[in-house]
Amino acid sequence: MVAMENTDSLQQAASVSVQDIGNLVQFDPRPIDSSEFKKDPDSFLKQACTIGTQLLINNIFQLPVEKIDDVIIAKLPAPSTTLPREKPIPKEKPLTKWEQYAKLKGIKNKKKQRKVWDETSKTWKPTWGYKRINDKTKDWLIEIKKNEDPNQDFFSKRTQERNERVSKNELQRLRNIARSSKKKVPGVGATPSVLSENPDKLKLKKALNIAKRADASMSKFSRKLENEDKVTKGLGKKRKFESNYGDIKNEKDKQLKLFEKLTSTKDRSSKEKLNIEKATNKFIQSENAEKSSGKKKLAKRSKMGGKNKKFSKKK
């Protein structure tokens, strides 16, 4: 509490101060006296904080209160000061394909009850999820149709169908996320990097090999067909590397063969010979054309000279 000597300053501060009890904030807009602040800054700031805190506590005690679990709580009003957000406003969640269709057709979702009374067990059971009502996957008896094979394991078939439904729903969920974020939705099966538009035998074999090795045991305990090839780590030609020590004889033969190819004219193709012949013929033709054009230039006479000669003869 504030001492008695500071009651005057407390009343002055109460008449001028601005309050925001919703945010538990007290503002004192009075200007600071520089002379008093310079004398003793610590005591000046301490007195200002004490007055502000006392005013805030006085205003809180004037608020309506309520008792919750033997604790008296004051009801704070709505805050009047707008504070900036720490993080940006979250974007609206994009609608799924079904939500877009329901919005277009005006379909409204009906709220289901979380629990329903089960007449067989005489208990309340959840409508969906774990231990739900009418859960056929837990039935100990399965009815077989006339056209079905009675020797088939229907329990394992039921669990397999359930797993397929779960994986299908998960795939649909991921597709909805990809579609809402405007990304390319991948197809089912082998990825486009493995299979192109026109897949060949090797690519199909590679995709099959990847699919077989995708289980937990890396195809060790998976079922195999009668004439099925063994699953390998990778398909394609294996690169062969020479030993680090090398073979001097093989290296010598390779270098000699390369030298013979570069120097000999016997191994050259007929195309190369034709090109050489054409080049030589072109060069000879161009030389002859230059010589003939030079002779023509020397033999050429002016038209006026000819006319004058004829005129002189007539004379």
DSSP string of 40-75? -HHHHHHHHHHHHHHHHHHHHHTS-EEEETTEEEE-
Segment 257-302, tens digit of pLDDT: 888 887 776 555 544 544 667 777 888 888 888 887 765 555 555 5
**Cα distance between residue 72 and residue 78, in whole Å:** 19
CA dihedral 8, 10, 11, 12 (to 10 degrees): 90
Domain residues of the chain, as ranges? 2-74, 112-136, 274-315
Segment 7-35, tens digit of pLDDT: 767 777 777 777 888 888 888 888 888 88
Q: For position 4, what pLDDT does the model report? A: 41
Tokens of 246: 């090398």
**Model's pTM, two decimal places?**
0.32
